[in-house]
């Protein structure tokens, strides 16, 4: 088990190392002067501000230093939590800007991902080998999982927001409000949260339901299911066992899908102008704020790695075989 976690942590460490290196390399080995390019495209009009920024960024990139020193300095800054200064909201540090957006993204993603996983698995398990239900769950599941996240978001925003007028279609809370801990504000937050959550939840739901349905069919064909059936065990027991075994690969699947889910959350946020990382990325791109973009990238990678590790821990808790120190999930 120690070996299992050791291996996982090594992979995550290497992944983070690689992500940071990519992040460092790209602006340096791209053709052109990144500082000039960034300032030219940034919409800053006051000459003194431009000068201040130029001085800051040139210093920050440290082009006069040897390459290896630039690289080490980059790491040193990073480990101090210094991601640089945003161009878009100069001179706010990138880390501050990102930390302001992260709670929104997490509030959207965590419930949507977990709920869609739980409900999707139940639905898929229930539909498997039950003709009538299967015939409706399967096509709906495929349509949902084939949808681009932003399209369902746009449709929900249009149908339930613009046309029906039930939900607001933009922002994390009403423009007229200031963030505070009143019930009124929390209610407003929830109202703005509903549609982005629903679209993220629904698209993910389809994939989980289909995955579970296929896994259950596979498990119901397995030897232990056949043995139980030959000994006359009731379908309920056989299905319960099958579900438990089928859930394990779905946990691994959750780890594999994280990247897609993050992508889905980002574009969903953009549709609803939800003030999370997705909207931040859009702003960063529109304003050529590459520091903000790179900082967000590292944050997302870090988040995904942490989530992966949590899933690994859960897997070990749920699958007795890894705990027994025998053959476990492939690293």
Restricted to residues 167-226, the positions that interact with another protein (CB under 8 A) are 169, 214, 217-218, 221-224, 226
Count the site residues for another protein by CB under 8 A: 87
Helices (H), 147-234: 149-156, 183-220, 223-230
Residue closer to another protein, measured from CB, 85 or 258: 258
Q: Residue 213: which of 289, 136, 320 has the closest Cα?
A: 136
Among 55, 72, 256, 313, binds another protein (CB under 8 A): 256
Nearer of residues 97 and 281 to another protein, judged by Cβ: 281
Site residues (CB under 8 A) for another protein, limited to 12-71: 12, 14-15, 18-19, 22-23, 26-27, 30
If one asks whether residue 102 binds another protein (CB under 8 A), the answer comes out as no
Rule CB under 8 A: choose which of 142, 174, 189, 249 binds another protein.
142
- Dihedral (C-alpha) 253, 256, 257, 261: value to the nearest 10 degrees? 140
Among 125, 200, 258, 280, binds another protein (CB under 8 A): 258
Among 3, 167, 229, 276, binds another protein (CB under 8 A): 229
With contacts defined by CB under 8 A, name the span among 42-50, 105-113, 119-127, 157-165 that binds another protein: 157-165
Among 90, 126, 185, 241, binds another protein (CB under 8 A): 241
* CB nearer another protein, residue 40 or residue 260: 260
Which span sits near another protein by CB under 8 A: 50-58, 84-92, 116-124, 279-287? 279-287
Inter-CA distances, 95 with 13, 83, 89, 191, 292, Å: 21, 6, 12, 28, 8
Could you say whether residue 4 binds another protein (CB under 8 A)? no
CA distance 216 to 240: 10
294 binds another protein (CB under 8 A): yes
Phi, psi torsion values for 93, nearest 5 degrees = -65, 145
Task: Report the C-alpha gap between 72 and 124 in whole angstroms.
Answer: 50
Q: Return the residue of 86, 95, 116, 308 that touches another protein, per CB under 8 A.
A: 308
Determine, following the binding rule CB under 8 A, whether residue 74 of this chain makes contact with another protein: no
User: Could you tell me how many helices (H) and strands (E) the chain has, helices first?
Assistant: 13, 0
Contact present, 246 and 218 (Cβ < 8 Å): yes
Q: Is 85 helix (H, G, I), strand (E, B) or coil?
A: strand
- Taking a C-beta distance cutoff of 8 angstroms, is the pair 297, 277 a contact? no
132 binds another protein (CB under 8 A): no
Q: Which residues contact 236 (CB under 8 A, 6 or more apart)?
A: none
């Amino acid at each position: 088990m120690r070996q299992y976690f050791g291996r996982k942590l090594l992979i995550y460490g290497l992944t983070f190392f690689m992500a940071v290196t990519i992040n460092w390399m790209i602006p340096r080995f791209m053709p052109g002067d990144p500082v000039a390019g960034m300032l030219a495209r940034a919409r800053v009009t006051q000459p003194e501000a431009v000068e201040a920024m130029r001085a800051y960024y040139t210093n920050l990139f440290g082009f006069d230093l040897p390459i290896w020193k630039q690289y080490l300095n980059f790491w040193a800054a990073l480990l101090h939590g210094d991601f640089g200064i945003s161009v878009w909201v100069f001179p706010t540090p990138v880390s501050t800007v990102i930390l302001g957006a992260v709670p929104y993204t997490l509030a959207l993603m965590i419930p949507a991902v977990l709920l869609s996983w739980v409900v999707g698995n139940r639905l898929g398990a229930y539909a498997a080998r039950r003709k009538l239900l299967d015939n409706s769950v399967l096509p709906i599941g495929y349509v949902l999982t084939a949808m681009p996240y932003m399209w369902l978001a746009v449709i929900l925003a249009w149908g339930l927001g613009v046309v029906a007028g039930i939900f607001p279609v933009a922002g994390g809370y009403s423009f007229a409000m200031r963030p505070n801990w009143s019930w009124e504000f929390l209610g407003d937050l929830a109202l703005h949260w509903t549609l982005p959550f629903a679209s993220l939840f629904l698209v993910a739901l389809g994939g989980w339901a289909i995955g579970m349905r296929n896994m259950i069919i596979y498990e119901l064909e397995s030897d232990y299911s056949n043995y139980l059936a030959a000994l006359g065990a009731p379908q309920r027991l056989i299905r319960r066992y099958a579900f438990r075994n089928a859930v394990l690969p779905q946990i691994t699947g959750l780890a594999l899908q994280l990247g897609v889910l993050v992508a889905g959350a980002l574009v969903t946020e953009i549709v609803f102008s939800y003030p999370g990382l997705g909207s931040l990325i859009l702003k960063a791109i529109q304003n050529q704020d590459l520091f903000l973009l790179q900082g967000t990238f590292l944050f997302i990678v870090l988040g995904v790695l942490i989530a992966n590790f949590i899933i690994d821990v859960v897997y070990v808790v749920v699958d007795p075989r890894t705990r027994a120190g025998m053959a476990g999930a492939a690293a």
